[in-house]
Structure 1
């Protein structure tokens, strides 16, 4: 019979190790340390261990294992489902590990496990270098990378995980290993798409790319032009070069009605080529907002900083669309017209080019064909009844389901969508589960996505 976690003993051991960097509910800094971006997340961890280096991470892991405490890892805290926190658990907090080391000659950057996208793009800016990131600066780079990493450079440089060169990992038993193509190659394969299921990633080395500026910005149209805009978007994607990655969807408008947006990012060396694509976008209707210009990559990411407000309540649903058919356009426009909240949004992320040319078995990430990631984002203010907003997201997702590929983006799937997690990995699923059993046989880590450790679930 398994005994209950020994919280008090763990607290004694961790207090000796970390001093006042161990936080418990009675500590004044504890409430802020368990606050995440999504105000709907309400979890009560038993304690938070704020680590400064890999040695402390290993020591905390050993204590958690010895005292049988459920463990989570926190970096950016941007997982909408709040899986960085767990009731009664120990939070291994990496937010103090923010070092960034740039090697301009080698074209690489090495970051500590707590680094956000904002940290790394700011450090690279003086060198005119960039890494592949998502679209939000506050997101932890490790969590984004381990499960995928759609972003503005997807067409030219692939997903964030496609640019990972090496990772330092502390395994569940406290051992520290380096995973790269020649050291722990199976772990390196699994890390690129399998999420934080195998250990705590404390350092990551990425390939960096020269990009002094990108032609990027927002073009927004009235909702009654949405059908024409989305059809134009579909036609543009059909012949978009690698250098052009384009988001689209619906964002809240100033009068409460959603606006349809198109966000091109052209990272090629020929500004005139990028401008031709922008002119094509403008011709789809009458732009209400037209703000496209050469921008440093750091400023490209700032475009979405104000779109999602910390403290609001969020629920996300995701679908992979193989193409933007007329039926899909109809579903998306209807959802925008029926939106239940003036804060909600829909985003279409563009996967193509370099990301599509990587073999589906080369990494754990399970979908390498061109597609759109449809992100349905229900948002409501604290105190609002959630029912109507949840229903809007669920209805939209259900309407897209017949038009979608199996599975979905693991970083955005809900905790109870276990069947879709399995489908997301396709033929990589069984290999990924074997890696889970090899590196975390006791199931210490329950990250995004959650992988089984028993044979009967494979």
Structure 2
């Protein structure tokens, strides 16, 4: 088996379920404005249902559970285009939403009440802005585009996500997390400024540039975009980053598998315990090791550890980690690894994984899973229902430099975790919605049965939005969803929302 990216692994799980069911960067701000500002304009930027482009643009959301039907889609190439589009929406009384990469897991864009979608796909500039002494990345760029241009142009990178097709716009606003973050912090830890199109109390749209400078009167708008999530305060058109790190020259990418054939409950329990204890005791000592421990359902055949490690001692670090996981369990049934130039590894996994119906949930761990939680995971991952195949919980390495930043310095409040959790159910047919939604909801509820069915002790990640956290049927704790996502930062985000979007033009089910 070849080395996997996370998305290709998840695609494999979803595919199994389906089978059972059926450019050169500009070097100045002026150059970038010219390039992107002339890319789209005039009546051709208004895409209605009769336009041959409409089907693609309306359906390019990642989660097939949701497909929007807006009156029209506005393709924008500049900040001025965005201002005009927002003004048109407000004057017409149309609910507006914005799409960057299209990877939102809920219906924040593809909601039946959204009548205009602003598509940022043409705003992909990546350049150095000498006036701000910062690297600018437009909101429509994908992570892969940003990685390639920053690295080839200046030898630096943005420490952000592992999936290169994800859009910068929503990813950074949620915090920006990926393989290099344990060494270099989150993407927002490098965010100097953000440009946002907002709407004032009179209903007039305008662009605002907000920086992290202590004297900036707009600083709360910058802060809201350091983990407050996208689509809530306005339309982000570009970000500026300072102090971007150099990536490693190369990385060792790996995939390890433990076959479910040998994972009886005591063995499974020991394996998961070993993993959690290692990160609790040693995680910060190895900031160049990034892993995702994918506990797939038994029907998928195996559980996997995928990831990458860099540095001169990469193989030794991986060997030590694998030995610790296998203590009392035995080594993996298969192991594949490959040393690659960093950019090659960063751009892998860009294959199209759209086309599946999804439900996701999230959490953080400050300490390893308890015995009770591991028993719950084992039970839900080994149920005999043959139709539930594309399900998993992934335990992703966290901490390191991420935890060195105070929780109030950015809107990303979760700065004391050792692992980040990603729960997934994926399937192909609409007729199977109820079965798969019930499976993941019950799995998640049972994992946190001691705290009202939600991760009160660790919190959740707004980049993996889950509207169930706002539903009293599934959140029976005393904490509102906003506290689960934002901790003590929730009140400050509410205040920023009131100031910068007083008419609530930009909203969705999980707006602060």
Segment of structure 1 superposing worse, 360-369 or 44-53: 360-369
Segment of structure 1 superposing worse, 325-334 or 155-164: 325-334
Change (3 A) 1:406 1:125: closer
1:265 corresponding residue in structure 2? 308
Q: Does 1:186 align with 2:228?
A: no
1:397 corresponding residue in structure 2? 444
1:99 is aligned, of 125, 134, 159, to 125
Distance 2:392 2:342 in 1: 23
1:72 is aligned, of 77, 94, 97, to 97
Contact 1:171 1:199 in 2 (8 A): yes
* Structure with bigger RCO (C-alpha 8 Å, 6+ apart): 2
Contact 2:300 2:390 in 1 (8 A): no
Change (3 A) 1:397 1:275: closer
Name the SS of the counterpart of 2:225 in structure 1: helix
Q: Does 1:373 align with 2:425?
A: no
Change (3 A) 1:31 1:142: same
Q: Does 1:27 align with 2:51?
A: yes
- Normalising to structure 2: TM-score of the pair? 0.78
Distance 1:67 1:416 in 2: 32
Distance 1:179 1:89 in 2: 28
Matches within 5 A, 1:237-316: 237-238=279-280, 239-240=282-283, 241=285, 242-251=287-296, 256-268=299-311, 270-271=313-314, 274-280=317-323, 283-284=326-327, 285-301=330-346, 305=350, 309-316=353-360
Give, in angstroms, the shift of residue 448 of structure 1.
Answer: 7.6
1:110 is aligned, of 127, 136, 145, to 136
Contact 1:74 1:85 in 2 (8 A): no
Contact 1:71 1:444 in 2 (8 A): yes
Give, in angstroms, the shift of residue 447 of structure 1.
Answer: 5.1
Give, in angstroms, the shift of residue 202 of structure 1.
Answer: 0.8
Name the SS of the counterpart of 1:210 in structure 2: coil
Contact 2:83 2:207 in 1 (8 A): yes
Distance 2:244 2:68 in 1: 37
- Normalising to structure 1: TM-score of the pair? 0.86
Contact 2:126 2:150 in 1 (8 A): no
Over aligned residue pairs, what C-alpha RMSD do you find?
A: 2.7
1:428 is aligned, of 480, 485, 489, to 489
1:450 corresponding residue in structure 2? 511
Deviation track 1:277-321 (CA, whole Å, cap 9, x = no partner) reads 455367453323312333334444566556x83111111122333
Aligned pairs, how many?
432
Contact 1:413 1:421 in 2 (8 A): no
Q: Does 1:168 align with 2:195?
A: yes
Distance 1:354 1:301 in 2: 20
Distance 2:379 2:174 in 1: 30
2:6 corresponding residue in structure 1? none
Q: Does 1:354 align with 2:401?
A: yes
1:333 corresponding residue in structure 2? 378
Give, in angstroms, the shift of residue 435 of structure 1.
Answer: 0.7
Deviation track 1:413-437 (CA, whole Å, cap 9, x = no partner) reads 3235332223322221111111111
Which segments of 5 or more consecutive residues in structure 1 lack a partner in the other structure? 1-15, 452-458
Distance 2:268 2:164 in 1: 28
